[in-house]
Chains A and B, each alone.
Chain A
């Protein structure tokens, strides 16, 4: 059941974004920014978390889930450390995703060479 939910919810988010992309000519880079910010906002108003609880990976794997995670981390660090937490929460929460992407990608640059599309 959670697989079906993940498939349907994740697929639906992608499908909505696809419509958006086809009709606005927005570049993927902008799409990613919008999704993360949207996720953070929805997280802040308290909508995304219950939704993610219900949809599982369908809501956490898309980048909007990443945005939600950012705000979750922010809330936690503010609660723990007050004002200075504002400057820690975002990076703490996103640390795994960003570090993994940077570290693995850097290692990939050792191994792989640019290739032509075919």
Chain B
């Protein structure tokens, strides 16, 4: 009887969950490429790597190394060892998740490989939080990565091939972000006694918790333009955000920020426009990681950043810090993904979108 009650109270509305014991964010790491480091958020990232190959021999290898570094660094930051992590949930954009497979093999952590296109960070954190709150793990790592060159090579053209990018196109972020989600409040730095706090205190200023999630549906408005992914994904973000607000029965101002992943300038306008139709005005508190991460004018990135790492490193580098400094107390993190492959595109399919929402709160 008791158990039955608990189950019901966790499920909210149609697609959302509010956790009974909201899991804690124990640490987050952000490794960024050179161009990202030169962008407006550059000073927020843990590490910026100048070498686009990250010491590897191919773009794919580079991305694996990138992800490995993010995973190792987040474990170190939390003062843990890889044995302390029960499961790892991760994914990337390369075919069959090869960046993840080859990147994290050495860590010896049991793995769930997932694909959510550029929404992967949201999906992996949502699943991680479910696992932790469900009592199936005490600590999990959620992580993802993307690399500009590997993505271009796989989805578009070889890099030295000359072509013009339309203004609606986005620029894939090179980087990797990892998060450790745990059942217990993070131990204070003094107890860990390692004397190194890597610039952000995850204890003294309160802890970030995952209050709830809204799992997104695949939303297809029939757009076929793979060089306008913001417009392809905006309907999915609209669907998920609107669902979240309805499920929780709140208004947009419940959140200090509603943060989408990589809609870019085109997608942002469409999202705000679409949400107005449901009576939600988010124009005042919406932020898009893709817009924040690059400077449109000086970095020539057109509609903004994209890729799994776009939302991931903005989250772990920038959003976490904003929360820890109590500049924001509750945010809705909504990474967005465009679901396509070279084959689906060539065969004339549209580009559907997906978006997963994660409610983060500092307390």
Residues of A within 8 A of B (CB): 21, 25, 27-28, 112, 114-118
Contacts and interface: CB of A to CB of B under 8 A. Distances in A.
B284 to A, nearest CB: 35
A114 B157 CA distance: 12
B344 to A, nearest CB: 16
Interface in B4-47: 35
A114 B163 contact: no
Contacts of B59: 114
Contacts of B159: 114-117
Q: Which applies to chain B's interface (DSSP): helix, strand, loop or mixed?
A: loop
Interface of B: 35, 52, 59, 148-149, 152, 158-160, 163-164, 225, 227
B160 A25 contact: no
Nearest to A116: B52
Contacts of B158: 114
A112 B160 CA distance: 11
B54 to A, nearest CB: 11
Nearest to A118: B35
Contacts of A114: 59, 149, 158-160
A116 B227 CA distance: 19
Contacts of B35: 118
A114 B159 CA distance: 7
A25 B165 CA distance: 11
Q: Which applies to chain A's interface (DSSP): helix, strand, loop or mixed?
A: loop
A25 B148 CA distance: 22
A38 B42 CA distance: 49
Contacts of A118: 35
22 contacts: A21-B164, A25-B225, A25-B227, A27-B163, A28-B163, A112-B160, A114-B59, A114-B149, A114-B158, A114-B159, A114-B160, A115-B159, A115-B160, A116-B52, A116-B148, A116-B149, A116-B159, A117-B148, A117-B149, A117-B152, A117-B159, A118-B35
Contacts of A116: 52, 148-149, 159
A116 B149 CA distance: 6
Contacts of A21: 164
Q: Which 6 A-B pairs have the closest CB atoms?
A: A116-B52, A28-B163, A116-B149, A117-B159, A114-B159, A115-B159
A69 to B, nearest CB: 23
Nearest to A25: B225
A117 B149 CA distance: 8
A94 B76 CA distance: 60
A32 to B, nearest CB: 12
A93 B163 CA distance: 28
Contacts of A27: 163
A21 B149 CA distance: 24
Nearest to A115: B159
Nearest to A21: B164
Q: Of residues A27, A116, A117, which shows the largest number of chain B Cβ atoms within 10 Å of its Cβ?
A: A116
A116 B158 CA distance: 10
Contacts of B152: 117
Nearest to A27: B163
Nearest to B62: A116
A94 B128 CA distance: 58
Contacts of B164: 21
A33 to B, nearest CB: 15
A29 to B, nearest CB: 9
A93 B225 CA distance: 37
A25 B35 CA distance: 28
B208 to A, nearest CB: 33
A25 B152 CA distance: 18
Nearest to A28: B163
A118 to B, nearest CB: 7
A117 B158 CA distance: 10
A28 B161 CA distance: 10
Contacts of B163: 27-28
Contacts of A28: 163
A118 B149 CA distance: 11
A21 B59 CA distance: 30
Contacts of A112: 160
B259 to A, nearest CB: 27
Nearest to A114: B159
Contacts of B227: 25
B36 to A, nearest CB: 12
